[in-house]
Structure 1
Amino acid sequence: MQRKIISVATSIIEEAVVESLQKNFPESIGIADLGCSSGPNTLMVISEIIDTVYASTNKLGSPFPEFRISLNDLPGNDFNNIFISLREFYKKLKMEKNIGPEGCFISGVPGSFYGRLFPKKSLHFVHSSSSLHWLSQVPPTLDSSFLQPLNKGKIYISKNSMGSIFDAYLLQFKRDFSLFLKSRSEEMVDDGSMVLSFMGRVSADPACEESCMQWELLAQALMSMALEGFVEEEKIDSFNAPYYAPSAMEVTSVIEEEGSFTITRLEAFEIDWDGGAPSNNNVHKNPNTIEKYYISRGQQYSKTIRAVVESLLECHFGTEIMDELFRRYGGLVDDYFLKTRPKSIDLVVSLTKKGLIVEPTM
């Protein structure tokens, strides 16, 4: 699913890079990928950006610039795994474009992107995919350590949520996203480009299915376990996901209010929950035998979600319930697939850093 999300934004990324190069073609280009994670998708966007710059230099007859590439994620990310994969990345780069490590400097930058990460005016292009829907923290007013739980039986916004819960999530998103934009504005050169892709919604209703149903089904799985004594209901009441899927209007409002960037494009894409994978992708081979086994679409999707949220849930509910939780979750997703073809909304926004306006002198 994350690969699909990256692929639908590819043309927008290429357009932003080309437009940025037309305004400023430096000898050394600073690029940051924020929330890069660790896995087969990590270097996918970086490769696309290098390909676009390579094609642009050939078209313009310009010398190929050097790259300063920064891969960012939280300190717990497996940066070692990324660094191990760089040998093959450099080998391919050398073979296809005759670019060696001396022309492409890649580093890991651990830390939260809700704050400064890089020196002033050091970046020409910034990218982030599937990250900005994660908040810096649970909205403080929902922290049940000092208040009675306001969101009983739920772990995110739902149809039954009070208006104060909607307001708390929106306020936290506005604070976080505004800080993100302010931090990047200080780190980027004038007319630099930024492409951000994250879960959102087209509906004005924050409790619409397109943004909430994954969490609703997970809450149902947890509550079914509470009824059977596997988990305390109070544990569920005291958990709220540090996540928010904003509307396009909310995203636009924060960008305009913060004031450092101009919106070049803002588009919403529908993404199938399973990324549109063909049904035969659910047939797997046993690594120890020649036998094949089938995983339902719901269980396959459950594995995808587990890879994303398990560490978050383990901290609160413990490790011992995870297998059963996601087994039940997969069953609920299977039932949901029988009723509809569920889709998420991926918002992609392309931004340009505003240049300094110089007032004419008299």
Structure 2
Amino acid sequence: MDRQQVVLHMNHGMGDNSYAHNSIIQKKVMREAKGIVEESMMRLYTIIPIHCFKVADLGCSSGPNALQLVSNVIDIVHTTTCNLNLKPPIFQFFLNDLFGNDFNSIFKSLPQFSEIIEEKKGHKCGACFINATPGTFYKSLFPNNFLHFVHSSFSLHWLSQNLIEAIKLECFDLPLYDPTIEEAKEVIEDEGSFTLQRLESVILDWSTNIKEAVDDDNNNKLDLNTKAEFTTKFIRAALEPLLKAKFGEEIMDELFVRYKNKIVQLIMGVKILEFPTLIISLIKKV
């Protein structure tokens, strides 16, 4: 097994630096994209008769967002089948991430999740089967023409997972790349396997974590150091395992203290720190 498939994952558990407690921005993006997901699935479900609806979430990670897509899909299909007076399908969800992902925390949340779905939908919802599919989506994970709907959020920016070569270098390069809208469109059109339905950019600011965690009155009272701490936790939850594999665990606290100080300097220089996130909807060509 490639080493990068083991070390490349978000911070496990439910601690202060865990991904579970520092993934509000990811949740925000999923909210923004829900309308496009709904549009895509309604088009699919009204065109193709589906008995067993097979959905994959590539890069599901763990924490409170891991089952968000499952919940959204069930809601959308439930509404669609009720409006069309159709029998609901059976659901089969494949949660995918690399081998180091904290799948156990997802499994532990399934009983409570199932109770919530049953309470909300009752007999009107088809049976739901949730599976883990560990492995890299840069390789084949499923048989050809096996899935109806494929979703991926905050995962495709991992352009390269070649950590072994990176270790051989004196300096460390993170295998990340955020394309522009134009670059993404060009790659999709040149590759030719998909029809581009929607391509949008959502602009978020780094203070999203703060706005979700505290009310506006308290948010206005926070000093720069506290605001920088929120941003640092978001970054640490996602990148610490990768950095730890290269530099060792003993320097992590000091590393992110220095990172926080850099964020303080940035906040002092600008009013808002923003970053774009691309939302892309594709249909596979026959």
Matched, 1:268 2:201: yes
Counterpart in the other structure of 2:230? 300
How many residues are aligned here? 255
Matched, 1:79 2:103: yes
Contact 1:138–1:240 (CA under 8 A) maintained in structure 2: no
Counterpart in the other structure of 1:184? none
What SS does the corresponding residue of 1:321 show, helix, strand or coil?
Answer: helix
Contact 2:209–2:230 (CA under 8 A) maintained in structure 1: no
Structure 1 pair 295–84 and aligned structure 2 pair: CA distance change class (3 A): farther
Structure 1 pair 67–272 and aligned structure 2 pair: CA distance change class (3 A): same
Q: Please tell me whether Structure 1 or Structure 2 has the larger radius of gyration of its CA atoms.
A: 1
What SS does the corresponding residue of 1:107 show, helix, strand or coil?
Answer: strand
Structure 1 pair 71–133 and aligned structure 2 pair: CA distance change class (3 A): same
Counterpart in the other structure of 1:44? 68
Matched, 1:311 2:241: yes
261, 278, 281: which is aligned to 1:347?
278
Matched, 1:277 2:210: yes
Counterpart in the other structure of 1:244? 177
Could you tell me how far apart the structure 2 residues matched to 1:280 and 1:253 are? 38
| 1:56-135 to 2 correspondences below 5 Å | 56-99=80-123, 103-135=127-159
Counterpart in the other structure of 1:333? 263
Residues 153-197 of structure 1, C-alpha deviations (whole Å, 9 max, x = no match) = xxxxxxxxxxxxxxxxxxxxxxxxxxxxxxxxxxxxxxxxxxxxx
- Note the C-alpha offset of 1:22: 1.7
Could you tell me how far apart the structure 2 residues matched to 1:101 and 1:107 are? 18
What SS does the corresponding residue of 1:9 show, helix, strand or coil?
Answer: helix
132, 136, 139: which is aligned to 2:160?
136
Structure 1 pair 301–276 and aligned structure 2 pair: CA distance change class (3 A): closer
Matched, 1:256 2:280: no
Gap runs ≥5 in structure 1: 150-233, 284-293, 356-362
Give % identity: 42
Structure 1 pair 100–90 and aligned structure 2 pair: CA distance change class (3 A): farther
| 1:131-280 to 2 correspondences below 5 Å | 131-138=155-162, 143=166, 145=168, 234=170, 238-275=171-208, 277-278=210-211
Aligned CA-pair RMSD: 2.4
- Note the C-alpha offset of 1:115: 1.3
TM-score (norm 2): 0.83
TM-score (norm 1): 0.66
Counterpart in the other structure of 2:39? 15
Counterpart in the other structure of 1:360? none
Contact 1:94–1:100 (CA under 8 A) maintained in structure 2: no
Could you tell me how far apart the structure 1 residues matched to 2:140 and 2:87 are? 31
Higher-RCO chain (CA-CA 8 Å, sequence separation at least 6): 2
